[in-house]
Amino acid sequence: MKILAVDLGKARTGLAVCDEGEILASPVEVITQYNREKLAQAVADKAKALAVGEIVVGLPRNMDGSEGESAQGAREFAAALEALTGLPVALRDERLTTVTAHSYLNDTNTRGKKRKAVVDAVAAVVILEEYLAYRRRTRGGEGE
């Protein structure tokens, strides 16, 4: 099944999608939108256009595992997406995904404006890859 991953940000939100076989995760785009309602609608529209069967939203936990204001915002955003799309929406711990994304971009020598434009989509790829690995480990189990 195709799955859409969302790396939610205050200004830029990265999207990634996997193939039907849940093997390859690829960046889709970065949406620049401050208004959460408009952002949720844009992500819902993208989910429909891509014909995904599930959405996974990064859950920004603190390094000690606790949840703050950003995590609550991600939970509310996930609930809004579920209501708009009728699709299951899973939350996935996203600690260090942006760090990993920057590491990937360092490896490919992506710098400057191009880096800023893609880092959120690459972070969404990292979230999706981790979610796909979780699904494989649990034999297609449900999200947490």
Asked if residue 142 is part of any domain, the answer here is: no
- Residue 138: DSSP 8-state: T
Asked if residue 143 is part of any domain, the answer here is: no
Asked if residue 41 is part of any domain, the answer here is: yes
Looking at residue 8, which CATH number applies to its domain? 3.30.420.140
User: For residue 21, which amino acid is it?
Assistant: G
Please tell me the least confidently modeled range out of 3-12, 32-41, 48-57, 88-97.
88-97
Question: Which pair of structure tokens corresponds to residue 47?
Answer: 């989910």
- Rounded average pLDDT over 31-57: 97
Tell me how far apart the alpha carbons of residues 106 and 100 are, in angstroms, rounded to a whole number.
10
Q: What is the pLDDT of the chain when averaged over all its residues?
A: 87
- Rounded average pLDDT over 59-73: 86
pLDDT of residue 143: 45
Tally of structural domains, the chain? 1
- Rounded average pLDDT over 57-64: 87
Asked if residue 40 is part of any domain, the answer here is: yes
Distances (CA, A) of 30 to 6, 46, 67: 10, 11, 25
Range of the domain at 34: 3-137
Q: Has residue 119 got a pLDDT over 50?
A: yes
Tell me how far apart the alpha carbons of residues 90 and 131 are, in angstroms, rounded to a whole number.
9
- With beta carbons less than 8 A apart as the criterion, state whether 53 and 87 touch: yes
Query: How many helices and strands (H and E) does the chain possess?
Result: 4, 5
64 band by pLDDT with thresholds 50, 70 and 90 = confident
Asked if residue 144 is part of any domain, the answer here is: no
Distances (CA, A) of 101 to 27, 79, 116, 129: 11, 26, 11, 12
Asked if residue 124 is part of any domain, the answer here is: yes
Asked if residue 116 is part of any domain, the answer here is: yes
Tell me how far apart the alpha carbons of residues 121 and 30 are, in angstroms, rounded to a whole number.
6
- Rounded average pLDDT over 119-143: 82
Asked if residue 19 is part of any domain, the answer here is: yes
